[in-house]
Structure 1
């Protein structure tokens, strides 16, 4: 099969012919029909996430099941599926308490003594980013991250549910638990931020303030449900948000950028009793400075959100239903459709900041 392989940091991905193993145990072999380009992939390319190379990136996958291992009973060949990186064991404390997204089961990958899932033409093992490696014609994954979906949702939209949409919508409706009438600020209007705006609208937020530097993304934010927009290049975003809210601040700030200044701004724009939810991916070296006195006096909170708190078997089919009902806007998230050979151009466009999501589509 063909796949895009990263062999050097800050270098273009290389299209190669790889060999993929047969599924065994609880593994599922999926023919990839669409895969989204995510900023998390870029973090590996630029060295922000220093994973071992060579590796196949990509993790926002939709496709069709081709084969299943002997211990797989929930899926069968021909099923339409979304692949999500929130693999889980199903029996640990986190899984039992409804937080399977926090589980990191060793069985999600093959052991060092086992045959690698991917090999190159020379027989050398190739890594799978997030145990998926979606920039390929096929993926071999643990069944816990493989979710059957309805057949009438287009694959290029369904793929986005595998990461960006689930992360953004879930940050609003599951992690922040936005309630009807509340005021929400979304910092960063990329694919995840736009999905968080959409999620806040679905939750019934009374006011949704979108914050970004690019006019194009602020225009998109309004179509996803934003009631107000703030140009981050036009001065203090905290002061602009306070002015919009009459000095009160917001009930929720959802940070989708992953920078120190935007996280700190998210906390500072909170009203009393407000919650700042950190979604953006930062480097391990990033630190933040917050006032514990203001946190205590205003009963303000800061929390993280990983994969939108997703319960894969429950939430992913629900998000597909919301799209088919016209309540979840996936159509406008797909800024462009590319072939695998065009994948490096897709990352170049991502760096320009002018696309919500680029999707590689296979025949």
Structure 2
């Protein structure tokens, strides 16, 4: 629940699943900057004025406990991960294979239906229609992806947002080619996923850019070939020098005006800069001459993922040893440590993700 800058732990009543809903027992939930931006007031969000407050958490793993009568995709006992963007399956974008751009999301209950969650009889809003910082989640079936039951649920918890965004940004949005030069700016969960995926697809050079030595060291262990400490050098100049004139692909994984601009300025001719971070409200200014030689700047929403195919693929790659998501987990914590975890994130003391683990 929401207080200015912090979260309260409280009891919430959970309704029974309606026809297209699934009740999930939460086993793991990752701490992500998207929640923190709203908690700290950096961005607004629908539901902040809900009478019972807002329940955060949007990348989680769990075990299906009950399903509505129309649900056919999962059944009790299935292992699942959440996906923050729920798709309808029938709008123009869904039919074109772009479910993250769905214009008719079915994620929330209708206004005429009883609330899924209540606190002291008052409706509670679920962030991204999920609410993964709770022992149970009641969600639309399209918020879930079924995964291999052998896969560890702490690692599964971080797939649905951070890993999916970095992985999909490289594979889907930018379609990085083998042998190309890549730069990744910002080495949180999203950036580290982009680094490791770029290595997976055979990028010839991967330059990791950040201001934290621990994150730069981890990026080298996960596949980066070079590191640039942006706190002590001009990252654009360093990348241009290391790459011999610019990279083919750059990925901005922070969401700041300065780093978005840098991501374009470090491109070679015909290079592509992809913004994975959330840059809402940022005014980007670039010299128009940069685009004369076909440089491109593009966005990526959740890595342009098709959740029911891309997320199981990530699991398979990790189980096969081609990805190493175990290294992404900075620490496993109890729910009671959530505010300490976010405070560490504010102070940039986390390399990767902290994951709340719930009792099984």
Q: Do both proteins adopt the same fold according to a TM-score greater than 0.5, normalized to the shorter chain?
A: yes
Q: Report the Cα distance in structure 2 between the residues aligned to 1:19 and 1:174, rounded to whole angstroms.
A: 39
Task: Report what 1:24 is aligned to.
Answer: 18
Task: Report what 2:145 is aligned to.
Answer: 147
Task: Please provide the CA RMSD for this pair.
Answer: 1.0
Counterpart among 30, 33, 53 of residue 27 in structure 2: 33
Q: Report the Cα distance in structure 2 between the residues aligned to 1:166 and 1:187, rounded to whole angstroms.
A: 17
Q: Secondary structure at the match of 1:108?
A: coil
Cα deviations by residue, 1:78-110 (Å, 9 ceiling, x for unpaired) = 000011112101111101111011114342101
Could you tell me whether the CA contact under 8 Å between 2:91 and 2:104 is conserved in 1? Answer: no
Which aligned runs of 4 or more in structure 1 are off by greater than 4 angstroms? Answer: none
Q: Secondary structure at the match of 2:122?
A: coil
Q: Report the Cα distance in structure 2 between the residues aligned to 1:104 and 1:361, rounded to whole angstroms.
A: 33
Number of equivalences:
353
Could you tell me whether the CA contact under 8 Å between 1:260 and 1:288 is conserved in 2? Answer: yes
- The question of 1:239 aligning with 2:233 is answered no
Q: Secondary structure at the match of 2:158?
A: helix
Task: Report what 2:81 is aligned to.
Answer: 82
C-alpha deviation, 1:358, in angstroms: 0.5
C-alpha deviation, 1:111, in angstroms: 1.6
Counterpart among 234, 252, 255 of residue 255 in structure 1: 252
- The question of 1:360 aligning with 2:356 is answered yes
Q: Report the Cα distance in structure 1 between the residues aligned to 2:357 and 2:230, rounded to whole angstroms.
A: 34
Task: Report what 1:95 is aligned to.
Answer: 94
C-alpha deviation, 1:48, in angstroms: 1.6
C-alpha deviation, 1:293, in angstroms: 2.5
Task: Report what 1:166 is aligned to.
Answer: 164
Q: Secondary structure at the match of 1:195?
A: helix
Could you tell me whether the CA contact under 8 Å between 2:265 and 2:290 is conserved in 1? Answer: no
Could you tell me whether the CA contact under 8 Å between 1:145 and 1:312 is conserved in 2? Answer: no
Could you tell me whether the CA contact under 8 Å between 2:30 and 2:60 is conserved in 1? Answer: yes
TM-score, normalised to structure 1, is: 0.96
Which 5+ residue runs of structure 1 have no aligned equivalent? none
Q: Report the Cα distance in structure 1 between the residues aligned to 2:43 and 2:250, rounded to whole angstroms.
A: 26
- The question of 1:326 aligning with 2:321 is answered yes
Cα deviations by residue, 1:166-224 (Å, 9 ceiling, x for unpaired) = 00111111111100000000000111100000111111100000000011000000011
Task: Report what 2:276 is aligned to.
Answer: 279
Q: Secondary structure at the match of 1:95?
A: helix
Q: Report the Cα distance in structure 1 between the residues aligned to 2:233 and 2:223, rounded to whole angstroms.
A: 24
Task: Report what 1:349 is aligned to.
Answer: 344
Task: Report what 2:299 is aligned to.
Answer: 304
Q: Report the Cα distance in structure 1 between the residues aligned to 2:331 and 2:162, rounded to whole angstroms.
A: 16
Task: Report what 2:216 is aligned to.
Answer: 218
Could you tell me whether the CA contact under 8 Å between 2:86 and 2:105 is conserved in 1? Answer: no
Q: Report the Cα distance in structure 1 between the residues aligned to 2:106 and 2:176, rounded to whole angstroms.
A: 34
Q: Report the Cα distance in structure 1 between the residues aligned to 2:201 and 2:166, rounded to whole angstroms.
A: 13
Q: Report the Cα distance in structure 1 between the residues aligned to 2:221 and 2:64, rounded to whole angstroms.
A: 34
Task: Report what 2:129 is aligned to.
Answer: 131
Q: Secondary structure at the match of 2:154?
A: helix
Could you tell me whether the CA contact under 8 Å between 1:59 and 1:83 is conserved in 2? Answer: yes
Q: Report the Cα distance in structure 2 between the residues aligned to 1:351 and 1:335, rounded to whole angstroms.
A: 15
C-alpha deviation, 1:156, in angstroms: 0.4
Q: Report the Cα distance in structure 2 between the residues aligned to 1:107 and 1:308, rounded to whole angstroms.
A: 20
TM-score, normalised to structure 2, is: 0.96
Q: Secondary structure at the match of 1:331?
A: helix
Could you tell me whether the CA contact under 8 Å between 1:31 and 1:64 is conserved in 2? Answer: yes
Q: Report the Cα distance in structure 2 between the residues aligned to 1:244 and 1:160, rounded to whole angstroms.
A: 32
Q: Report the Cα distance in structure 1 between the residues aligned to 2:225 and 2:23, rounded to whole angstroms.
A: 43
Cα deviations by residue, 1:259-283 (Å, 9 ceiling, x for unpaired) = 0000000000000000000011123
C-alpha deviation, 1:244, in angstroms: 0.5
C-alpha deviation, 1:329, in angstroms: 1.6
Cα deviations by residue, 1:210-252 (Å, 9 ceiling, x for unpaired) = 0000110000000110000000011211100111012x20000
Task: Report what 2:334 is aligned to.
Answer: 339
